[in-house]
């Protein structure tokens, strides 16, 4: 609820309509949107989006991520299932589910929270970055990498590493490390691979160059 309250007034996230406390329960009323990009994809012919739709959605997905980061948070679970369609808005999707999100910018210092050198992995294994797999603390970089993997799934209908059970974590990590990038991103324009390579070079304290990322997406379009 605290994150939702801090996101108040933004078109990129659901808005709180009311909250309070009754005798036996607390309640929260918020916007209802949907379906998700993931559920919508499954209803498409051949269970994937067209290239044009994938790239255009990518722009909106990145807008949501940048706005979330600008509020001082990292989402930590970027995937098509966490984007819901919203009608009648300049941005046709909203980013939801902040259960794994964390504060990255300390509101007192306006600087990044010190890196935790022994961080457990958080997120959905299918979409998480190699760095998170290896126990690095989450940072803006990881949301961008998860976006790149999401675009691969949206255009192809699946990722090369489909199994998501925890027992498969080592196998997924090995595939992410060893599969040629041309094979992973081959169904997308080369600009998306460039996005991925750029994000992979970012360190914990680095702020992503969102203008560059938007340029690459629009150039691909």
Catalytic sites, residue numbers: 77
| Whole-angstrom distance, CA of residue 98 vs CA of residue 76 | 8
Q: CB of 16 within 8 A of CB of 8? A: yes
**What DSSP letter does each residue of 29-61 carry, written as one string?**
EE-----BHHHHHHHSGGGS--HHHHHHHHHHH
DSSP E strand stretches across the chain = 16-21, 26-30, 73-74, 83-85, 93-95, 102-103, 105-106, 111-112
Looking at the chain, the number of H-run helices and the number of E-run strands are: 9, 8
The span from the CA of 202 to the CA of 199, in Å, is: 5
Q: Beta strand pairing status for 73-74 and 26-30? A: unpaired
Q: Are 113 and 104 in contact (CB under 8 A)?
A: yes
The H or E element spanning position 106 is strand 105-106
DSSP letter for 70, please: H
Total residues belonging to the chain: 221
């Amino acid at each position: 609820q605290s994150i939702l309250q801090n996101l108040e007034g933004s078109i990129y996230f659901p808005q709180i309509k009311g909250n309070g406390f009754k005798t036996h329960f607390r309640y929260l009323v918020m916007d209802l949107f949907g379906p998700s990009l993931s559920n919508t994809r499954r209803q498409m012919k051949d269970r994937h989006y067209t290239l044009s739709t994938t790239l255009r959605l990518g722009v909106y997905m990145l807008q949501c991520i940048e706005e979330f980061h600008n509020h001082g948070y990292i989402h930590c679970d970027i995937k098509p299932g966490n984007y819901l369609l919203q009608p009648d808005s300049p941005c046709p999707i909203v980013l939801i589910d902040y259960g794994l999100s964390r504060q990255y910018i300390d509101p007192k210092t306006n600087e990044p929270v010190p890196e935790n050198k022994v961080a457990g992995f958080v997120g959905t294994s299918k979409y998480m970055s190699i760095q998170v797999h290896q126990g690095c603390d989450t940072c803006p970089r990881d949301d961008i990498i998860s976006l790149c993997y999401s675009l691969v799934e949206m255009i192809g209908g699946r990722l090369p590493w489909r199994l998501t059970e925890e027992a498969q974590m080592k196998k997924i990590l090995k595939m992410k490390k060893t599969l040629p990038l041309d094979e992973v991103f081959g169904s997308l324009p080369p600009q998306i691979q460039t996005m991925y390579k750029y994000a992979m070079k970012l360190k914990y304290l680095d702020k992503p160059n969102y203008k560059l990322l938007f340029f690459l997406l629009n150039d691909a379009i």
